[in-house]
Amino acid sequence: MQWRKGDNIFYFAGEALGWRGLPNNMWLLEVLLGFDEGREESDSDDSRLDGLGDQEEGFELVFQARRSFTPDWRYWLVSRVVASEDGNLGLFGVGRRFGTQTDGSGSEVNLVAVFHDSDYANKGFGIDAMQSAASGLEMTSLSGGLRSFGIDYRYRHNLNDNWQIYGKALFEYFSSDVRKSPIARSNYESEVGIGFIYIF
């Protein structure tokens, strides 16, 4: 659910509460407070997480900024910083919107590089001595640095005055350090989603 006033949007989306706005024609800023459900051993259907224990829930503060190269927002720089008790993550990249629409509909693509500190890296892919003994997996400690390269595609189409359809696809290729972790299922991660938006 979201409420718009001028160039500012306030929204609640599942486990995130945030604000998005245009301070001027060249900058798009966003701040949100999100809830991280953590990780449970039962999250893996093939028992890959058995013996690693459950991770606690927590909150993440996210700041995102886009800086357009053109007044019509066809090309931009994008950045995102995620801060939490369990470490920090940063994303930096470039994006492009296709078509001639100026109402937010159409498609866009972003190419990004993702970095994490050691705390965030080991939260997702590290295995300490106790976890290694319980799971039988090799002890793994990651340092901060490059996490992955990624590409994401988004599409939005106005079905009528009230309904929009929204889709996205994400592909993330992990760095060599992440790929070596026994927790990593493969060299990459992908995601596809679709949704509908109703405008009151």
Burial of 148 (0-12, 13-18, 19+ CB in 10 A): buried
SS3 174: strand
How many residues belong to the chain? 200
Cα–Cα dist 18/27, whole Å: 17
The pTM for the full model equals 0.86
Given this model, what pLDDT does residue 55 score?
83
Among 14-23, 38-47, 101-110, 133-142, the least confident range? 38-47
Cβ atoms of 143 and 132 within 8 Å: the answer is no
Return all residues near 135 (Cβ < 8 A) that are at least 6 apart: 49, 50, 51, 52, 127
37 phi/psi in degrees, rounded to 5: -75, -5
Q: Rounded to a whole number, what is the distance in angstroms from the first to the last CA of the chain?
A: 10
> Which residue would you say has higher pLDDT here, 48 or 162?
162
pLDDT band at 99 (very low <50, low <70, confident <90, very high): confident
Reported CATH class of domain 2-198 = mainly beta
The one-letter amino acid code at 76 reads: W
Tell me how crowded residue 142 is: count the other CB atoms within 10 A of its CB.
23
Tens digit of each residue's pLDDT (9 = 90 or more) over 47-95: 677 878 888 888 999 999 999 999 889 999 999 999 999 999 999 999 9
